């Protein structure tokens, strides 16, 4: 099997699809790996690092796409990459088709691409193993982001997350007790912030209570409790996702009007459209904006801030699936690895994922 790693072209995307360590595993398994020149440079991986483990460096994107059976990316393809699709190719990437441009779906269909979205690879018990690692990175970044935005020089409330004797810590509210929310809660709690976690699942809240030995407050995520928690938050972290679908709007503009002035919202759900009514995507160049007197941080690829760590996390989690694809091929691998089958959004250009189809308001074209 020939795997290709193109350089990411989406602005401010510093991660790379495969690290040299993962490439080494693929090469040892008998596969060929092509890496576009400088693809890993922004994550601290040099071309010679890839060559040392048996990869071949190609000098332009067109050659990398054109010579590879399986393309391994991070961010969903941009318009300039559509023309590089090869008929019948397999693509692995974060896609979030429910909120992507319709042009991307059309290009995938026209080129009969088998598109596997990292965010929809799902095990039988509901875990999303590839998204999980990215969520860990994002959650642990949350206090770093929040701490900077709370600074007076950033227009924030001028609050130290931990507080000091005689001055209380910041009140942090996390909506969503999944992997991202749990890691965010852990990171804020470790710094001494006052943390409250909301989720619809009592079982998830029980896990949080056990994890923090009762030192983190928990609330059921219904509209009444969300409005109440938002009103006392210095920092609000949104960590809600629907695999393949659009995130629900849980925090309304009216709720924001009750927040403390210059409080901070970090909407990590922005990848799926955001769960705050006033959220809109930003970039690492201009990551935040003010609306209703509240600072909003809505960067879809926040883990790219720590591109080396994030590339390791993503690459490590996707490696078992790449080895399975290399061993069994498409589409046989989908019978052998059920969670990979659940990750397929399109097979040979035909829409297969019920969640994506439902979010787009169309019918599934092929059932796997």
Do 354 and 292 belong to one domain? no
**Residue of 344, 330, 304, 334 lying closest to 93 (CA atoms):** 344
Question: pLDDT tens, 176-185?
Answer: 999 999 999 9
**Rounded distance between C-alpha atoms, residue 122 and residue 297, angstroms:** 28
Domain boundary among 287, 305, 323: 305
> How many angstroms separate the CA atoms of 327 and 319, rounded?
12
**In what side-by-side order are the strands of the sheet with 171-175?**
217-220, 194-199, 171-175, 235-238, 264-267, 294-297, 288-291
Helix axes 202-211, 179-190, angle to 10 degrees: 30
Q: Do 112 and 243 fall within a single domain?
A: no
Q: What domain range is 340 assigned to?
A: 2-126+307-360
Same domain, 174 and 311: no
Identify whether residues 51 and 143 lie together within a single domain.
Answer: no
pLDDT at 126 over 90: no
Is the distance from CB of 49 to CB of 18 less than 8 angstroms?
no
Which residues are paired to 195 by β-bridges? 172
Helix (H) or strand (E) holding 8: none
Residue 143's contacts (CB-CB under 8 Å, 6 or more residues apart) are 161, 184, 187, 188, 191, 193
150 and 274 in one domain?
A: yes
Query: Residues 216-240: what's their mean pLDDT?
Result: 98
Over residues 283-301, mean pLDDT:
97
pLDDT digits (tens, 9 = 90+) for 72-111: 999 999 999 999 999 999 999 999 999 999 999 999 999 9
* 367 within a domain of the structure (yes/no): no
Percent of the chain predicted with pLDDT > 70: 100
How many CB atoms lie under 10 A from the CB of residue 309? 17
Per the CB < 8 A criterion, the answer to whether 210 and 186 are in contact is no
Q: Judge whether 344 and 114 are in contact, CB under 8 Å.
A: yes
Is 185 within 8 Å of 191 (Cβ atoms)? no
- In angstroms, the CA 334 to CA 207 distance is 32
Query: Does residue 323 share a domain with residue 311?
Result: yes
| Cβ proximity of 349 and 111 under 8 Å | yes
For 66-80, write each residue's pLDDT tens digit: 999 999 999 999 999
Would the pLDDT of 243 be above 80? no
pLDDT at position 245: 86
Q: Is the pLDDT of residue 242 over 90?
A: no
Annotate 251-275 with three-state secondary structure.
ECHHHHCCCCCCCEEEEHHHHHCCC
Q: Mean pLDDT over residues 246-268, rounded? A: 96
The H-assigned helical ranges of 52-178 are 61-67, 79-82, 102-110, 129-150
Residue 328 confidence (pLDDT) above 80: yes
Examine the fold and report which residue of 290, 305, 320 is the final residue of a domain before the chain moves on: 305
Q: Which residues pair with 35 in a beta bridge?
A: 5, 57
Report pLDDT for 26: 98
231 in the same domain as 253: yes
Phi, psi of 37 (to 5 degrees): -55, 130
* Beta pairing partners, 219: 198
Would you state the pLDDT for residue 368?
85
Are 166 and 290 part of one and the same domain? yes
**Residue at which a domain ends, from 305, 322, 342:** 305
Which of the 8 DSSP states describes residue 68?
-
Q: Are residues 229 and 93 in the same domain?
A: no
Average pLDDT value for the chain: 96
Inform me whether the pLDDT recorded for 241 exceeds 90: no
Q: Tell me what the mean pLDDT of segment 44-53 comes to.
A: 98
What is the total count of domains within the chain? 2
**Residue-wise pLDDT tens digits, 205-227:** 999 999 999 999 999 999 999 99
């Amino acid at each position: 099997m020939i795997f290709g790693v193109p350089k990411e072209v989406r602005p401010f995307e510093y991660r790379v699809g495969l690290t040299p360590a993962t490439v080494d595993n693929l090469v040892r398994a008998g596969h060929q790996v092509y890496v576009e020149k400088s693809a890993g440079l922004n994550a601290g991986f040099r071309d010679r690092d890839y060559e040392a483990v048996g990869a071949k460096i190609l000098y332009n994107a067109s050659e990398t796409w054109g010579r590879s059976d399986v393309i391994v990316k991070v961010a969903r393809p941009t318009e300039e990459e559509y023309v590089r699709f090869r008929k019948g190719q397999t693509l692995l990437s974060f896609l979030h088709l429910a909120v992507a441009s319709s042009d991307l779906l059309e290009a995938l269909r026209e080129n009969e691409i088998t598109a596997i979205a990292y965010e929809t690879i799902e095990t039988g018990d509901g875990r999303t193993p590839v998204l999980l690692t990215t969520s860990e990175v994002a959650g642990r970044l949350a206090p770093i982001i929040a701490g900077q935005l709370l600074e007076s020089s950033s227009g924030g409330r001028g609050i130290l997350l931990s507080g000091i004797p005689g001055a209380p810590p910041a009140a942090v509210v996390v909506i969503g007790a999944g992997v991202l929310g749990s890691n965010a809660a852990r990171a804020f709690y470790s710094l001494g912030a006052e943390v409250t976690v909301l989720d619809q699942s009592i079982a998830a809240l029980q896990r949080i209570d056990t994890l923090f030995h009762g030192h983190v407050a928990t609330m059921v995520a219904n509209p009444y409790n969300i409005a109440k928690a938002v009103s006392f938050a210095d920092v609000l972290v949104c960590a809600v996702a629907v695999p393949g679908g659009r995130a629900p709007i849980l925090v309304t503009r009216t709720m924001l009007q009750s927040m403390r002035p210059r409080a901070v919202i970090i909407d990590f759900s922005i990848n799926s459209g955001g769960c705050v009514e006033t959220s809109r995507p930003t970039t690492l160049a201009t990551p935040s904006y003010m609306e209703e007197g509240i600072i909003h941080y809505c960067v879809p690829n926040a883990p790219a801030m720590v591109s080396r760590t994030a590339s390791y996390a993503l690459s490590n989690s996707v490696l078992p699936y790449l080895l399975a694809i290399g061993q069994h091929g498409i589409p046989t691998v989908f019978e052998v690895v059920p969670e990979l089958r659940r990750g397929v959004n399109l097979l040979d250009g035909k829409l297969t994922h019920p969640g994506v189809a439902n979010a787009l308001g169309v019918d599934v074209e092929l059932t796997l």
